[in-house]
Amino acid sequence: MEMKEQASNNLNETSTRTEQEGVSRRAFMGVATMAAAGLATESALAQTRSESLAGRTGDNASDPGPENTVLLRTNPNSNLPPFTDRGNPHTIWYSFDLTPKRVESGGWTHQVTSREIPRSQDLAGVNMRLTAGSFRELHWHLADEWAIMLTGKARITVMQPDGKMFIDDVGPGDLWYFPAGFPHSIQGLEGDGCEFLLVFDQGDFSEDDTFLLSEFLVHTPPEIIEKNTGWKRQEWDQLPPTELYIFEAPLPGALEADKRFLGNFLETENHYTFKMASMKPTSQSATGEVRIVDSSNFTIAKNIAAAMVTLKPGAIREMHWHPNTSEWQYWIKGQGRMTVVFTEGRARTMDFRANDVGFVPSMAGHYIENTGTEDLVFLEMFKSPRYQDVSLNQWIARMPDKMAAAHLKLPVSTIRSAPQNKTPVLPR
């Protein structure tokens, strides 16, 4: 408070002097104004709990100027955060629904990467649609690919360096995992094709930056193609002259027929698909459940771990953090809010809905609350072989009485009335 007054006094003083002393003082005034603005920001950060509460009374939060009422209606916490928020830490929210779709004949794709969320360096996401029969052109890339089918069905193939090919059909809630460099395909199946989410273990991944079958062939001299494959120049001329990327194609035959075609070259030991939505919950309470899939149960998923969380209306994902990596979220269904508490006492709360992406920097404390009237379902994604979290309640429960009381300034009986164990979804 004192600092703020001092800052504005200095500013007034400088302005007055500038009027009196002319042009030579103007440059100085610019600097002084900036310094004063800086001090004012520091002062806002130094608000006490009662000061920020006082700001919420009376007319203080009124906003008589222009408003984007459509955004305000759906983002009450993002715009007017709880009084416990502080400062303006970096981005924790983006939505696929604000990113441009690349639409091709056969479907579309769009992505949320470190271009949208600059601090998200570990993972990036792509949301893609393939109509019935349409392919994402055969390709490979630098990053590992983790995926979940959101709606519809697809046939996927992936070839291992030893020449064995894995092939399977996936439906809603099913996962696939393609290690970096393994060539693979995705094709929409009968009915309405499909829509899915891809997660890559590279924050600046771009779906436009993949190695394509078409480009490898068309950018190799025809005489080399002839030596390599036996295909003559007139055949080279018939190859696609540019990338196919996403394109329409006839529906495939039966899965069993494709497997029979592969015969001994069908991969049967490594499983590149996993049924996540229908697995038994890893933990469960009356108000929600959590399913964890990482390299301990989906062996092939060496670099990306996932938790699918379901919260009933009003329930929270308990206060916790992750000691190994940042968290990249995809919101599948419902609505909620999340607060992330950073270092230096900074905290940010924002609202989230289906098709939004959330981001929590490594180690930062957070919770998620279902603020809607239907179940909230979201994914917590990590660039890690194993899922790990630290529960605040569990930590407090393990503190000896005197240690806990000294820090929390509460009677021991109150402290011990909190849940004594890790409870991913509360209330129990």
List residues near Mn ion by CB under 5 A: 145, 327, 380
If the CB atoms of residues 92 and 189 are measured against Mn ion, the closer one turns out to be: 92
CB of 37 to Mn ion, least distance (A): 35
State yes or no: cis peptide before 427, omega within 30 of 0: yes
CB of 313 to Mn ion, least distance (A): 20
CB of 320 to Mn ion, least distance (A): 6
If the CB atoms of residues 44 and 363 are measured against Mn ion, the closer one turns out to be: 363
CB of 366 to Mn ion, least distance (A): 6
Q: Is 267 a catalytic residue?
A: no
CB of 389 to Mn ion, least distance (A): 6
If the CB atoms of residues 325 and 335 are measured against Mn ion, the closer one turns out to be: 325
CB of 141 to Mn ion, least distance (A): 6
Let me know: does 138 contact 184? Beta carbons within 8 Å: yes
For 49-64, letters b (16+ CB in 10 Å) and e give eeebeeeeeeeeeeee
Distance set, CA 185 to CA 93, 125, 177 (Å) = 30, 18, 12
Phi-psi sector, 57: left (phi>0), alpha (psi -120 to 50), beta: beta
- Residues 129, 133, 247: CA angle, nearest 5 degrees: 65
If the CB atoms of residues 11 and 341 are measured against Mn ion, the closer one turns out to be: 341
Give the integer Cα–Cα distance in Å for 259 and 63.
64
Helix-helix angle 2-21:26-45, to 10 degrees: 170
Distance set, CA 2 to CA 9, 34, 54, 185 (Å) = 11, 18, 17, 64
Identify the sign of the CA torsion 209, 212, 215, 221: positive
Q: Is 394 exposed, middle or buried (0-12, 13-18, 19+ CB in 10 A)?
A: middle
If the CB atoms of residues 189 and 379 are measured against Mn ion, the closer one turns out to be: 379
**Catalytic residue chosen out of the listed positions 207, 289, 318, 380:** 380
Listed residue (181, 121, 180, 130) closest to 156, CA to CA:
130
Tokens 């997660």 correspond to 199
Distance set, CA 106 to CA 86, 136, 166 (Å) = 46, 9, 24
Q: Distance from CA of residue 143 to its chain's centroid? A: 16
CB of 111 to Mn ion, least distance (A): 12
Tokens 């004192």 correspond to 2
Tokens 């995926």 correspond to 147
Task: Please give the positions annotated as active site.
Answer: 380
